[in-house]
Structure 1
Amino acid sequence: MTDELAAGLVADAQRDLPQPLGVDAVALAWALKAVCFAAWSTAPARAVRCAALLAELQARAQTPDHGDRARIEIAAVAHWVQGIAHLCEGRMGPACGSLDAAHAAFTVLQQPQHAAQTRVSKVMALSLLGQHDAAMRCGLDALQQFVALGDELAAGKIEVNLGTLATRQDRHADAARLFRSAAVRGARARDRSLSIHADIALANALTWLSDFDEAMRINRRARMRAETHGLAVAAALADGAIGRIALHRGHYHAALRALAAASHGFAQAGASPQQCIEAEAALADAYSAVNLLPEAVALYRQVVARALEIGAPVEQARATLDCARAQLRLGRTDEALQGLAQARQLFAAQDNAASVALTDLALASAQLKAGRPADALDSAGRAGAALQRSGVAGWQLEADATAADAAAALGLADQAQRGLQRVLQQAQALGLGAVELAGHQGLGRLAASQGDTVQARQHLGAALALIDRSRLALQGDSFRSAIGAQAEEAHDLLVRLSVQGGDSPAALLALMEQGRARALALGVQDSSAQPADPALDPLRLKLQWARDQWRLAIAEGDTPLEPLARRVTALEQAVLQAHLRAQLQAGQPAGTAAPAAAGSPFDTAALQAALPADTALVAFHLLDDQLLAVVATRHQVRHHLQPVPGLGQRLAGLRFQIDSQRCRSPGLQAHAAQLLARVQAHLQALHRLVWAGVAPLVREHERVVVVPHRSLHYLPFAALHDGQGWLAQRHEICLAPSATLWLAGRSAPARLPRRVVAVGHADASLPHVDAELQAVARAFGGRARVFSGQAATQAALRTALPGQDVLHLACHAQFRADNPSFSALELADGGLTLLDAQRLPVAGMLVALSACETGLSHIAPGDELLGLVRGFVLAGAPTVLASLWMVDDASTARLMRGFYSRLAAGARPAAALRAAQLALADEGAHPFHWAAFALHGQG
């Protein structure tokens, strides 16, 4: 009767204590306590409800009807449960007060078992407050009492808490002993929950001690048991533990998926705030490991804020340190150093020597990057000495690798080599993939500086192979492209060594391809196979609403913009985070059409066989002040290397001249001939720097596929001028992110452009959009579907696309250099972003983006181009027409009319674009009006 009443009262939040109770008040108090303890780790809200009911029961008990002992016992239970409720709410100070009151009351009642049990919860509260010594004393005292009372279950629970406390102080060997003992006690007491939780905690300690195989075995068994018995929080704990093991071993995709599952599992199970933020911090660690640094920083900041909110200084300190380390890699040195100082102060206050040493290690990395190798060597040595006592091999090896890099920078080659070889051997033995990568890269750099080309190539090649294995295992374009940052330095050095070593042009091209747009080659897919992402829809709607409010505020001018801008930025981060988690939860799409050999060496002979007789492929690679070009044709592969002094300044000068044409004032147009001469001078200088050496190698070829590199992606190749004419007069030109992608695209049958979807959304600044749409429609006769004005929505676009051959989009566009994923085409119902584009069913279609700056991209490491073109390529479009700068509406409409009239008449896209561009150029038009557009892909 009492148990049923307690359960009913907790289940129904609107139900009050009955009048009269109808049951013994003390028995009801203990029944409510039982409900609380059964629920608090899986359903915290039920624990809070129990505390409220017990507070009411305690107030009701203050009557003569209840004896002194009954009143004290009810109060003791109420204080105990209130302490648990405070723990669930993250209020650690009040939790300690309530638990002390409960302990005092049970002591008065001479109930040592219950008095000792209140200490178990207090250990948790003290540790979360950072009072580790007090927590350890409290826990050891309770453990002795439980052992004396013969209570195996209670003794096991306090050992778990003490082990957790030791873990927070980075005393992992001590923690492992406590967890192992707790697991044994749980088994003896036949308590599945204790046994499983202790096993997971033991596996975590073994992970820190680098016993990965045993840790994984224990975790998998624990997860299976947790799932079998419906213990959702325990299953999420096991997922998190499995993810951390995978992260230590460099198995990034497995780590990301498991950690995302853990975060989701904790949220679904209503786990404690502490467990939720620990899971978010672990997921941020995984983002950082694969170089998704802005996303990692955003997530670390959320963890710091949440840790401050619930009073968890350990989690606050760790997230502050890890956030600072990510900021260092982003080049945000001042913010990073400030974060390191804060983290060091927090760790010192907790008397956590190992974590203080970790901040010193991060400082050493900052000093090395700042060109202070002597300071870095000192900091790394100090950190290494302290970390040696932690028993965490990964930390120690990281310190040794940093010290070796500092020694190399100081010219202490022998010391550096010995240190790096030792790091590499131990990392390989322990299966620490990230540290192994650092060892190979360090030894490769060192060997190259000493002129040992054979060793340098061996180590750098091994580093690239490790990165490629990780990339191949990762799911999702964002993850694959981000990890390329780890490969860029090694790849550049390998190319340089290959040039210096006199390797054949075919070998040079194969090596260049080893680091060129690798993530994009793995990510191209049929968008119809991409899973829907309904969880993102509410966030997208909120983001669109916030953007609309921001634009309205700009127009009206009477609303503060900064809060709205912050809101937009926060929602963009939320959408990105949700998108990343959706990628991790999704399986490999069935329609994936990425090159099967994306992880294999590039086959230059296969490229030559695929090149038509009239086509040459030119792949560039910038090596500081030199430009390497490899030219492949059906019959031969040749290369050209030349210095490119002032290339960056010339590109900037060209852009200045192009941008000056945005002004339509009659006064400026009166100097049209002079302005044309100025831009032509820049284009002639760039022709000499970039193309003059290549020109003799492609003279006999009508078509040229250009694979740019870094800043050359911003060069309008068609407008290069040799003093006699434009490059477009010599060749049809199309661009490709890599030879690998161009070759893969040849396997798909060419689709004749017969049916078109033309979508346009304009305002007063785009008066020619409707005329452009009608011109496109006329070129295709009755085979065109046109959506303009308010009908130009994403929903209409997605519905109309299946079965079409061409998609034409005429609208405003914005390239977001700060966040390329939110570069967007503005349609009637909001922005079509890169994330949206890659989900459109455009496989096999020609996509024309008749808008401003649609071809601009952020060039990420590994020559991964992050912009709108990437979204459509990822969706499977073999050819994308896009612009490099803010185009003129009227001249764009004319260009598109010429392009589509020729395309509909049977010309291939590159020939149609070339003819349309030259028609304007022949009229004397400035390149601003005709050279912005380029074809990406097959052409």
Structure 2
Amino acid sequence: MWPAPARTTIRYVTAGSDSVLELLPKVFAAPGEALAGAEEVLGADPSPLHASVAHQVIGIWQRDFGDLRLALDHLRRARDLAARADSAEREADVLGTLGVALVHAGRTRQGLAAFERGVARTTGHTRARVMYRRAYVWWVLGHHREALEDVRRAIPVLRQADDVIWTARALTLRATVHLALGAVERADADFTAAEALWDTTGQEHDKADAVESRGLAAFRAGDIPAALRLLDEAEERYAKLGTPTFMLDIRRCEVLMAAGLAPEALAEADAAIGVLDEIGGQSTRKAELLLVAARAARLAGDPHTAIARAALAVRLFAGQRRTWWETHARLVLIEARLATGRASGRLVADAAGVADRLASFGAPAAPEAALLAGRIALALGWRADAERHLGTAARSRHAGPPLARMTGWAAQALRAQAAGSGRGVLEACRRGLDVLDDHRTTLGASELRARATAQGAELAALAQRVSLDSGGPRRLLVWSERWRATVLTAPPTRPPADPVLQSRLTAFREIADRAEKARMEGHPVLTLEREQRRLEREIRSRTLHMRGEEPGDGDRFDPGRLLARLGDDTRLVELAVVDGRVQVLLCGQGRVRRFEAGLLADAEIEAEHIQAGLRRLAHPGAEARLPVVEAAGRRLEELLLGPAADHLGSGPVVVVPPGRLHRVPWALLPALREKVLSVSPSATSWLRARETEPPPGGRQVLVRGPGLATGGAEVPELADRYGGTPTLLEHEAASVPRVLEELDGAALAHIAAHGTFRADSPLFSALRMSDGPLIVHDFERLDRSPYRIILSCCDTARFASVGADELLGLVTALLPLGTAGVVACTAPVNDEAVVPLMLALHKGLGAGLSLAQALRDARAAVPADAVHQATGWAFSAFGAA
């Protein structure tokens, strides 16, 4: 919540009124009790003085937690009753509370007038409290210098009066204003002092507010995991008090956007707006929620929604005389309009005007606006204007939180591009992405790391374009690797030994299992699904709180090392996409060659046609589709490999596709059909897998989950073939805890189980065990995942493409954890046809072949009918084992 105004203790009334006056601080210690107590006072024929206090309490409650119209009614009555009681200090105190309510209702002029009367009506301690509330209103209005002046004058008086609660509030407010101006260290000092005071009080709502404020400070300092943890803690505290959390919603949405979760931020902001409208809440909060919704929509790629939300926010802020906020809303409006049409001189002027106003306010967003103005001017060919605006934005590259510095480096890269300096572009891109790398390493959750890469997409694209134009294929390879599958280059942060997280995972598994059984039996599952979603939110929330390691130099990609590992026989084909066209980088025989292929958009369409065909071929009777699928494979080869298809040599081939093409069944492409073929998210990831040593002991694990059409028929036969050495887990023994225990550090694992891919939440993609789903979050708890793992079930090689070029899914969870190779399926397959393919695959492994070699030979060994061919194409080998 925001620094809460109008929570008071008053010392100037006679002792007999103490119990009534205690209701005022109780509004933010126990809101429900305070409201009930005030209503009880009004029902007992109180004096004008006591009635004034009671109406003020109800007004505060309605203002911050309920209907603002009712709040104004009660506060006006409180003011009139205070005047009847002939108490200037009581009247001044109510005027301060009323002033806040009027401003929140959008009646800014009337609110400020109320403060003027309140300040004039009293002196000393009461006047300091009124000035604090006016400082809060100045902050709401975006008048930060005025806010700092009022709170500067209030704090010494409150301290001298030994007013702990109001001093702590004033320090919290001053810290919040400092954050709005980018002064994080000053804010931290004030938050620390305020927290020490809150610890001596029973003001539970104020304590929750302090935790929320700490979350805001962590966010401004660039610590997203800490921000999410603190905001979640504040939300729990508010929930116990039963109070709404609109300001918390705004701040959480800001953090979600910075974490790359813009669609979630948009959904949360829109939901909060709906609740606010329903209760008749504060107009000021609605405008702020509209602003964050507009930002989220723009970042989520929905510029039309962004325009609608931002335009309404501009109108509300203007009516509320909140110029600081209005200017921020105009910035989002310009960005969204640019996304829907061409650049124009009018947009340059608008963006430049916004940048100037933000700079005059001392707003941290000023460089972002200057970058926007410079980018538009550059698109129009206005070099002088572009240089002026980009130069202003570039000043932010050396100081401030990570994302602000990246704004500065983006501006510097565009300046270099305009000046025709390829070297300058690459240097700025390198420096900017270094900032992003340091930021990502502070994120412990693999999902946040992956999504954070989107912040560097523009820099990486600029570097790739320069490399394509003038740098040669080796440089393009380096920059393609610079932003590709970077999350997989190092093991993820291990989930902490968190008993709450473990209990949530166990509960989730039990509920998910009950829901699955209920579906199979035709029973209602709505309640179970609702509980499952709740548990998923809690698991994900606690996972996002994890902090990463401290920034380090990392392991930079070295083309020479890659070429040495490939040797003379193996070829690595990395597909880079520059301006929508596929550039094929063919690595091998000590050199990197570039070939130009087709458009990525066309390839995506063709890949979807192939997926549809494979789904049909998974069922007998669809043999006529086989020639259609093969023809689509030939067209896809032309689009993705182009002339490079004739230069692949006779040895093994490693394909490194962009994230959006990882579902392609590469073995279907004619040039790759007879190859020993593996797929890797990046060349760096392949190198890491190639250099991974197998664990000692050669332990094997065979797992058979429930409900398979064939009953996992290959598993018993494999157990017999391997003799007594494998660990066989089936029936009740195939439980998640036991499976994880056996998988940890195994040399080879074969899992036959139903697989489900969750596009909405890829880290809840699962394999079904006897006691429920084994999810990606479970795999991340392994000390070392199996060296080789075979997943003989549908859709286990499906991924969500997020961030710049990152992948989230089962396979990508395993590769950074010690798995060197995975065989998994990119499409639905025929369960019966899987059995002979898997038996042939293991036969090859038993003969000492790699996964890719064994899979190639297994495809050739199964029956030649359409169903078996389609099944073979649907499986791919990932990694390098």
Q: Which moved more, 1:178-187 or 1:118-127?
A: 118-127
- How do 1:717-756 and structure 2 match up within 5 A? 717-722=666-671, 727=672, 729-731=674-676, 733-746=677-690, 748-751=692-695, 753-756=698-701
Please say if residues 183 and 198 of structure 1, whose CA atoms lie closer than 8 Å, have aligned partners that are also in contact: yes
Match of 1:849 among 785, 791, 794: 791
Tell me how far 1:928 sits from its aligned partner.
1.0
User: Match for 1:31: what amino acid?
Assistant: S
Match of 1:40 among 22, 27, 30: 27
Q: Which residue of 1 aligns with 2:9?
A: none
Q: Rate the CA distance shift 1:314–1:379 in 2: closer, same or farther, 3 A.
A: same
Cα distance in 2 for partners of 1:528, 1:345 equals 47
Tell me how far 1:930 sits from its aligned partner.
0.6
User: Match for 2:649: what amino acid?
Assistant: R
Q: Which residue of 2 aligns with 1:203?
A: 175
Q: Rate the CA distance shift 1:651–1:450 in 2: closer, same or farther, 3 A.
A: farther
- How do 1:207-218 and structure 2 match up within 5 A? 207-218=179-190
The count of residues paired between Structure 1 and Structure 2 equals 864
User: Match for 2:598: what amino acid?
Assistant: V
* Deviation sequence 1:663-698 (CA, Å, 0-9, x none): 423xx43x4xxx544433443444455457556765
In the superposition, the TM-score normalised over structure 2's length comes to 0.87
Please say if residues 760 and 788 of structure 1, whose CA atoms lie closer than 8 Å, have aligned partners that are also in contact: yes
User: Match for 1:852: what amino acid?
Assistant: C
Q: Does 1:864 align with 2:802?
A: no
Cα distance in 1 for partners of 2:636, 2:201 equals 69
Please say if residues 848 and 880 of structure 1, whose CA atoms lie closer than 8 Å, have aligned partners that are also in contact: yes
Q: Rate the CA distance shift 1:497–1:74 in 2: closer, same or farther, 3 A.
A: closer
Cα distance in 1 for partners of 2:503, 2:291 equals 31
Tell me how far 1:905 sits from its aligned partner.
5.2
Please say if residues 762 and 799 of structure 2, whose CA atoms lie closer than 8 Å, have aligned partners that are also in contact: yes
SS in 2 for 1:373: coil
Match of 1:176 among 145, 148, 166: 148
Q: Does 1:477 align with 2:446?
A: yes
Q: Does 1:715 align with 2:664?
A: yes
Match of 1:683 among 633, 637, 640: 633
Tell me how far 1:883 sits from its aligned partner.
0.7
Cα distance in 1 for partners of 2:196, 2:51 equals 40
When the two chains are superposed, the root-mean-square deviation of aligned CA atoms in Å is 3.8
* Deviation sequence 1:371-427 (CA, Å, 0-9, x none): 2312533542454465466x13334333332222222222212211211111212x2
Please say if residues 159 and 182 of structure 1, whose CA atoms lie closer than 8 Å, have aligned partners that are also in contact: yes
Q: Does 1:380 align with 2:351?
A: yes
Match of 1:293 among 237, 256, 262: 262
Tell me how far 1:353 sits from its aligned partner.
3.1
Tell me how far 1:889 sits from its aligned partner.
0.8
SS in 2 for 1:483: helix
Q: Which residue of 1 aligns with 2:705?
A: 760
Q: Rate the CA distance shift 1:365–1:680 in 2: closer, same or farther, 3 A.
A: same
Where do 5+ consecutive residues of structure 2 fail to align?
Answer: 1-12
User: Match for 2:620: what amino acid?
Assistant: R
Match of 1:324 among 286, 294, 300: 294
- How do 1:772-811 and structure 2 match up within 5 A? 772-788=714-730, 792-798=734-740, 800-802=742-744, 804-811=746-753
SS in 2 for 1:848: strand
SS in 1 for 2:245: helix
Cα distance in 2 for partners of 1:207, 1:925 equals 62
Q: Which residue of 1 aligns with 2:8?
A: none
Tell me how far 1:516 sits from its aligned partner.
1.0
Please say if residues 443 and 546 of structure 2, whose CA atoms lie closer than 8 Å, have aligned partners that are also in contact: no
- How do 1:440-451 and structure 2 match up within 5 A? 440-445=409-414, 447-448=416-417, 451=420
Q: Which residue of 2 aligns with 1:453?
A: 422
User: Match for 1:524: what amino acid?
Assistant: P
Q: Does 1:887 align with 2:829?
A: yes
SS in 1 for 2:461: helix
User: Match for 1:376: what amino acid?
Assistant: L
Please say if residues 523 and 874 of structure 1, whose CA atoms lie closer than 8 Å, have aligned partners that are also in contact: yes
Cα distance in 2 for partners of 1:758, 1:709 equals 32
* Deviation sequence 1:691-712 (CA, Å, 0-9, x none): 57556765364x4333222444
Q: Rate the CA distance shift 1:503–1:601 in 2: closer, same or farther, 3 A.
A: farther
Q: Which residue of 2 aligns with 1:16?
A: none
Match of 1:110 among 86, 107, 114: 86
Match of 1:664 among 617, 620, 629: 620
Cα distance in 1 for partners of 2:756, 2:64 equals 46
Tell me how far 1:341 sits from its aligned partner.
3.3
Q: Rate the CA distance shift 1:549–1:844 in 2: closer, same or farther, 3 A.
A: closer
* Deviation sequence 1:511-561 (CA, Å, 0-9, x none): 2221111123245356797876157459847974996599579x68xx9x9
Match of 1:516 among 484, 503, 507: 484
Q: Which residue of 2 aligns with 1:422?
A: 392
Tell me how far 1:274 sits from its aligned partner.
7.4
SS in 2 for 1:372: coil
Tell me how far 1:584 sits from its aligned partner.
4.5
Q: Which residue of 1 aligns with 2:133?
A: 161
Tell me how far 1:800 sits from its aligned partner.
4.9
Please say if residues 442 and 547 of structure 2, whose CA atoms lie closer than 8 Å, have aligned partners that are also in contact: no
SS in 2 for 1:640: strand
Q: Rate the CA distance shift 1:624–1:807 in 2: closer, same or farther, 3 A.
A: same
User: Match for 1:825: what amino acid?
Assistant: L
Cα distance in 2 for partners of 1:411, 1:543 equals 59
Q: Does 1:651 align with 2:607?
A: yes
Q: Which residue of 2 aligns with 1:79?
A: 55
Tell me how far 1:440 sits from its aligned partner.
3.0
Cα distance in 2 for partners of 1:168, 1:495 equals 44
Cα distance in 1 for partners of 2:480, 2:852 equals 25
Q: Rate the CA distance shift 1:836–1:140 in 2: closer, same or farther, 3 A.
A: farther
Cα distance in 2 for partners of 1:522, 1:52 equals 60
Q: Rate the CA distance shift 1:181–1:73 in 2: closer, same or farther, 3 A.
A: closer
Cα distance in 2 for partners of 1:341, 1:789 equals 59
Tell me how far 1:493 sits from its aligned partner.
2.7
Tell me how far 1:192 sits from its aligned partner.
2.8
* Deviation sequence 1:765-818 (CA, Å, 0-9, x none): x52133133233223333445455676543553455456444433333333444
* Deviation sequence 1:610-652 (CA, Å, 0-9, x none): 557764443331224654344445x623223223365445434
Please say if residues 304 and 336 of structure 2, whose CA atoms lie closer than 8 Å, have aligned partners that are also in contact: no
Cα distance in 1 for partners of 2:418, 2:762 equals 36
Cα distance in 1 for partners of 2:110, 2:745 equals 70
* Deviation sequence 1:295-345 (CA, Å, 0-9, x none): 222332343234335512212211112112211222223322322233234
- How do 1:145-160 and structure 2 match up within 5 A? 145-147=121-123, 151-152=124-125, 154-160=126-132
SS in 1 for 2:807: strand
- How do 1:96-107 and structure 2 match up within 5 A? 96-107=72-83
Q: Which residue of 1 aligns with 2:98?
A: 122
SS in 2 for 1:642: strand
Cα distance in 1 for partners of 2:231, 2:512 equals 30
SS in 1 for 2:142: coil
Q: Which moved more, 1:489-498 or 1:281-290?
A: 489-498
Q: Which residue of 1 aligns with 2:583?
A: 628
